[in-house]
Structure 1
């Protein structure tokens, strides 16, 4: 047994025979001189430990090992007792752990063929292949698998996070779509109701005009028929008189016969189809303009929190509301206002016949000498007596609307960006993100509730009341100022960057008698 073990230790790992002229590498392993030289012609590592060998490494003969090999070769094999017939070795406890060709342990891995091999395979089939120790191959592959596993786990975590985000986004889209559909349905429902009311009103106006014109025509027709009858009677009487043979009778009859009076000019019925359609055309044109308006292509950039297109003013501000008696009552004093271009700050751009103002980041080149240095603009109209009402539509919060005396300062005073309500000559309502504030003479009063985008202003100079209303979703009073107004009042507005404000017009709005000179330019 000892001799067999000694022979295994003296066996070359390349040729699997006893060493022939053994040499030693720098790593300490020994091989036959011819075997290792042949090996190093195509490789640079040790066949056993895979340590790199220096190029053209000097191979020194192992004298001691050569002497031991010579002794083993000269010693006869030891005789032992006859073991008799080979006993049944029984089943191999690990049949896959040995080479099926050579019966040796599978200690190496052939990377070229991708399989486990024994040391004997390295001399034959896998002699020129890339081989590594089996445990080294395992360590390398374990590291690769662990790295791959970590990457897949990170990908799974990322996929789960993306899935949750996608589900949340889908839920938000569904909720937003439902809210948008509900809002659009409500808008169109109210718009259809308003259009139906306008339709009925237009038909009624046509019917009234037709009745008046036909009555006038019937009156003229009766006058003409009466004249024709009188003319026919005169013709008959004259003919009978001319046929009278008695001179006395003729003379007496001619004195009694009087012709009908002159017919006079004919008065045609007052009917003008274009006049009947003028109000309706104006209403429909303004309504279509509001619905189809996509905003100025050079408008201000959209806000970060705002991902949709710019909002158009509420078209229902132009048509009668079927639900709010208070608002219909306020419309009795409705005034169509326009902005004064000469007062607009250089960052404020007017459009739609001076009915719309927009705050942009880029300033205008030329400004009027009397324009506001603040982000403000006032209306061209002013009021000194009577009662007046107007409505405005804002694109978003952070706007201020109010009224002011003509001496309102055009330049900045104090730390504020507006001066509406900051002094004794102006009164204002500041609409913020989550509330509203009433300002006058530098004093503020915080109001409850959040106003809508459609707002109304009622100025009653007779009773000294200035009232602000929120008109969406229903008409509600926000605040009322009580004061004695001693000078004409101009409507005035302040806008934050990116905001848009529109003066709503009503086609049937008219000035009361006596205010034509006082409030110039109203339609």
Structure 2
């Protein structure tokens, strides 16, 4: 078969392969954005709307099953027949389609089979080549390693799906926010239905992830039993598919942070607003505190953080004020900071528990971490590890000493970010701040304590994106 024909067949195979399961389409359906998938690969819940697994565009309302794409189904069957004819051809399996010579070598850079003449072409001349007999055992070891990784991920996903309750009790946290309002009629607006739908969608994603992992593991097992040439011919597609499945798994297991606005919440919290100043004597060497004691930024020589629960390794500054009773609320502007940490600090005390001494945590915090193009929120202590849809410009912190409450809020959206599990305070606590670590090659931005009369709304935030700091501060 001519090289052009082989290339055309490969292009056809790409068009008739489901981007979720990486197999030929089975009962293909096409959604509103134009992408096609196997009907069984799409989420099974009757969601009022859903996003495309490939482009993430919200497609359409799903009130009834999607219709099978008949033309795509016919094209898939035709592609299967053509592929089968090629595979049944000894020439197609064992000889180079371009030079009609035996495929004796394997290109480790491109993961493709080559003949002697292919190795001398400009495309492959500088690449690493090895005989088929040497490459096949190495590839089998790589596939076996992938198989063990997939089995581990499969068991982890299975445990998550079988968990009787989610890792975070969003119902409990949101209910407590509405109780704070002392207006029970607001429960009519509480978004429990949306939270439940999101949890169902989460289970659908995990179920689909399990099916995809299982299918891939079976295909890897089959590949290990193939002849050397057949194995090396298919290995590039298997490795690409494995990489895609593992990257999708990471996104499926790290959920996005829920945004549940609570009307009037920030206004109510402002009743407990306190004026806070930074304590220069408590500043880490790599931080610079402004003269007005209202802002701090990263300086030079920021070391790498290691143990998040050990304040000896944290680079932070504390507030002058310490709290041992009552309720306090303060807001911090983190606009322009891709990474930051906010929370409270208390002296590390030893507590008697069951006849043995235990160390209480000395820090309780929420931090934002940037990884490539994504932002993640993590808590210590606690189980929060969620992705952000977009950076948070201002964070509010609410402290209630008697009940051991420490909650974090997205001020712009008037929504709860996270409330740390019940804390038992045994000593005065001080607010703590850390504007980093800064990203390499960027100019550190300041972390600013907001004034008592400072309030953030949508128009203020949009102004901050298009003006300098002085104009923004004057506006709000």
Q: Same fold (TM over 0.5)?
A: no
Q: Larger relative CO (CA 8 A, sep 6+): 1 or 2? A: 2
TM-score (norm 1): 0.29
The structure number with the bigger radius of gyration is 1
